[in-house]
Structure 1
């Protein structure tokens, strides 16, 4: 069991806020840390890794205390990152440009047998003598992942590791990550904004907003089994409303896509260009309704 009870004051775009978590994580699973930008996701990973000091709280892994600090006191215990045996994959890979693939791995640990095993698992054996500048983005990500596993960490922390990759490469590396996790049994915490990635990889999603845990559920509970009769729901913005004879049409932007939806007279009278809306379906007919201020905006993930 991994117990994360930590607090830290942070500065955000809207001023100071408190990052506060109190969660228990099972060993051997994959947990997503999700939420809007600036909600404290990366800081949470850095506190777990020992790279950032919490203001107070406790961090325990399998009964072993890594951090303990009472309010207003100096830390009673604060293990160094090296003592915590945590693997961390940063967004920017952080590879040594003057070292080959193999040398990057051996810098983390001199275990050549483990290096060969990980290169084989990640498809890097043929690239062992190549420098990072000659690798693709997906290959660099594989090297960063393999290097983070060289010391056989208790925890693997991934900070949006696949965000810069195209969809095909992202899907392939997701499959590889699942295979590695199942073979090595390492516990993984992954920061991601991608709901499909959470659903594919994770057993659990801890959702942060302004430093607070607002949901702690399985991906199915969070994204599929919501209290709604809709089979799908997408958030968008109305760009235009127009009428052709008795038919009313709303032009709605959903991400980078534009859709036209036929709406009824009551919907047209309640809507205006610029409104944030949710497009769903009920009894196979599309519906458009205003986005309520008390709803969590999944488009911010």
Structure 2
């Protein structure tokens, strides 16, 4: 079990705010760390890893105190990163270019048997003698993942590790993460903005807003069981509205996809190119309405 009751003052685009967490995470699961940019997600991971020191609080992992500092007192416990048994994978691969794939893993630990087991698990055993310059982006990310697991970490921290990959490679690596979680039983915390990734991988989502955990729930409750009369609802941006016979067609960008939605003249009066909108459906008829601040904004995750 991870107990993280931590505080850290941060500087954001809107000024100073306090990152404050009071959360308990069970061992062996996969937890998504979501929320808008600048809300404290990466800093939270860095505090867990020992790369950033909290201003005060308690961090306890499987009964061992990794950090403790009471208000107004000196730090009592602050284990160094190498003492914490934490694996970390960021967007950058940070592989040693002059070493082979196997050499990169053995740099973390000299356990050759473990290295080959992990390379086999992520499907790279046949490339163990290759150098990073000869690998694709997805292969490099798998090497970085395997290297992070070399010291049998209690926690694996992933900061948007799949965001730069194409959809097919992203799907493959998601499957690899599920395999790692199942076979090694390692607790995984992953920062992601991808709702489908959260749903596929995670059993829990911590939604950060300006340093606070605004929601602590399951992906299903967050994305599927929301209180709405619509069968689906996605936030997008209107790129174009054009007249076609007696109706209008709105071209809406939703993520990397473009959709065309028919709107009537009354709806068109309140909409223009550049508007943020909600595209949904009622009784299988698509609807478009202007996005309001009260709407749950999935795009900010």
Q: Which residue of 2 aligns with 1:51?
A: 51
Residue correspondence of structure 1 range 101-140 to structure 2 within 5 A: 101-140=101-140
Distance 1:277 1:168 in 2: 29
Separation in 1, partners of 2:244, 2:113: 71
Deviates more, 1:108-117 or 1:247-256: 247-256
In the TM superposition, what whole-angstrom CA distance separates every residue of 1:143-190 from its partner, at most 9, and x where no partner exists?
A: 111111111110011111111111111111111111111011000001
Deviation at 1:76, TM superposition (A): 1.3
In structure 2, the residue matched to 1:284 is 284
**Are 1:275 and 2:279 counterparts?**
no
Counterpart check, 1:157 vs 2:157: yes
Q: For 1:31-70, what aligned pairs fall within 5 Å after superposition?
A: 31-70=31-70
> Which residue of 1 is the match for residue 174 of structure 2?
174
After TM superposition, the structure 1 stretch with the greater mean CA deviation from structure 2, 209-218 or 258-267, is 258-267
Aligned match of 2:231: 231
Instruction: Find the counterpart in structure 2 of residue 186 from structure 1.
Output: 186
Cα separation, partners in 2 of 1:137 and 1:238, compared to 1, 3 Å: closer
1:296 shift after superposition: 3.4
Contact 2:193–2:299 under 8 Å retained in 1: no
**Larger displacement relative to structure 2 (27-36 or 286-295):** 286-295
Deviations 1:23-61 (A, max 9, x none): 111110000111112211111111000000111111111
Partner Cα separation in structure 2 for residue 119 and residue 252 of structure 1:
43
Q: CA deviation at 1:272?
A: 4.0
Q: Distance in 1 between matches of 2:215 and 2:199?
A: 15
Identify if the C-alpha distance between structure 1 residues 110 and 194 changes in structure 2 by more than 3 Å, giving closer, same or farther.
same
2-side partners of 1:13 and 1:160: how far apart? Answer: 21
Residue aligning to 1:72: 72
2:259 and 2:162 map into 1 onto residues whose CA distance is 28
CA distance in structure 1 between the partners assigned to 2:218 and 2:63 by the alignment: 25
- Count of aligned pairs between the two proteins: 301
Q: CA deviation at 1:212?
A: 1.5
**Cα distance, 1:264 vs. partner?**
3.9
Q: Give the unaligned 5+ runs of structure 2.
A: none
Q: Does the residue aligned with 1:200 lie in a helix, a strand or coil?
A: helix
Deviation at 1:240, TM superposition (A): 4.3
Identify if the C-alpha distance between structure 1 residues 128 and 242 changes in structure 2 by more than 3 Å, giving closer, same or farther: closer
Residues 11 and 296 (structure 1 numbering): CA distance in 2 closer, same or farther, change over 3 Å? farther
Query: Tell me, which stretches of 5 or more residues in structure 1 are unaligned?
Result: none
Offset at 1:254?
Answer: 2.6
CA distance in 2, matches of 1:133, 1:258: 35
CA shift, 1:245, in A, is 5.7
Mapped to 2, the partners of 1:255 and 1:72 lie a distance apart of 46
